[in-house]
Structure 1
Amino acid sequence: MKLDFDTWQALVQLQADYAAAVDSGDWSLWPDFFTEDGVYKLQPRENHERGFPLCTLAFDGKPSLRDRVYGIQETLFHDPYYQRHVVGAPVVRSVGDDGIRCESNYAVFRTKLNGLSEVFNVGRYLDRVVSTPSGLKFAQRLVVYDSEMIPNSIIYPI
């Protein structure tokens, strides 16, 4: 894969579209940002830096991503909230036959229906992005959050 200006723009657009989709609450959009065997993991920084594999959430492949969407929409009972992502520009770490490896910082704000907005989760995305016939997709999205303390439940994708 080559990183020319058009590919860079597509990478930035992928990041922006992902944030807009998960902020919209239309969870059916989320799996389509990944390849068929795409991986999504949410992991504390401490575990990531120590090389420990334990993740808060881990999904391998679109079927498991779709299962999470089903859970959000049909089976999980929780106090509903809105979330808003602020995502920094991706920093490209490498470009090769296995895709683009990049990282970007993020902050997610949460607003409960009858409350004030608060900082919900902060960290960085470590991504491997590949080109597909339908555009750039995440082959892997590792979400590494900074705080060891998280709310008692993370329902929605970060």
Structure 2
Amino acid sequence: MTPTQTLSDYIEVMTLHADYSACVDAGEFDRWPSFFTDDCEYKIVSRENHDAKLPLSIMWLEGRGMLLDRVYGVKETLYHDPYYQRHIVSAPCIVAADETELRVETNYVVMRTKRDTFSELFNLGRYIDRIARTPDGLKFRSRVCVFDSEWIRNSIIYPI
């Protein structure tokens, strides 16, 4: 641990990740934006594009307003074959920490289950997070989901 990082930070980051995963896995998308700061960024990008520093992303939302718009789209306007998802998230690696922010990397696996089918590997990669220390606890300032494959199944509807 760095001098500005504590065991409490580690536990708070793990709790943030567990609560986030539980929220999206339960389909509680109305709560999803509450995990982010107002000026947040949420991005889903392929590893190839991320490593090459190319801007093309599957999804790129800036600000809580865009997250709220995505929630509305998921619940009210997008037509898709419904599915359940389940996150498996590794222990976080706190890369840097100071009084205002933590930089964290964490591996993830998302399984998807459609009704009347077997579960399947849906997406896997790593989260690259900038997590703000706020009066309301830790919040994602930036969450970049870097998926390893160059391919995705169909489309990504729900947050990763």
Which of 25, 32, 39 is equivalent to 1:30? 32
Q: How many angstroms does 1:96 deviate by?
A: 2.7
2:145 equivalent in structure 1:
143
Q: Distance in 1 between matches of 2:100 and 2:57?
A: 24
Q: Distance in 1 between matches of 2:62 and 2:100?
A: 17
Aligned to 1:28, the other structure's residue is in SS state coil
Q: Distance in 2 between matches of 1:49 and 1:151?
A: 21
Q: Which amino acid in the other structure matches residue 56 of structure 2? A: L
TM-score (norm 1): 0.97
Superposition pairs for residues 1-158 of structure 1, below 5 Å? Answer: 2-97=4-99, 99-158=101-160
Stretches of structure 2 lacking an aligned partner (at least 5 in a row):
none
Q: How many angstroms does 1:19 deviate by?
A: 0.5
Q: How many angstroms does 1:2 deviate by?
A: 3.3
Q: How many angstroms does 1:5 deviate by?
A: 1.7
Could you list the structure 1 runs, at least 4 aligned residues long, displaced by more than 2 angstroms after superposition: none
Q: CA RMSD in A?
A: 1.2
Q: Distance in 2 between matches of 1:67 and 1:2?
A: 36
Q: Distance in 1 between matches of 2:62 and 2:5?
A: 27
Q: Distance in 1 between matches of 2:16 and 2:5?
A: 14
Aligned to 1:156, the other structure's residue is in SS state coil
What is the aligned length? 158
Aligned to 2:31, the other structure's residue is in SS state helix
TM-score (norm 2): 0.96
Q: Distance in 2 between matches of 1:49 and 1:8?
A: 27
Aligned to 1:121, the other structure's residue is in SS state strand
Aligned to 1:41, the other structure's residue is in SS state strand
Q: Which amino acid in the other structure matches residue 120 of structure 1? A: F
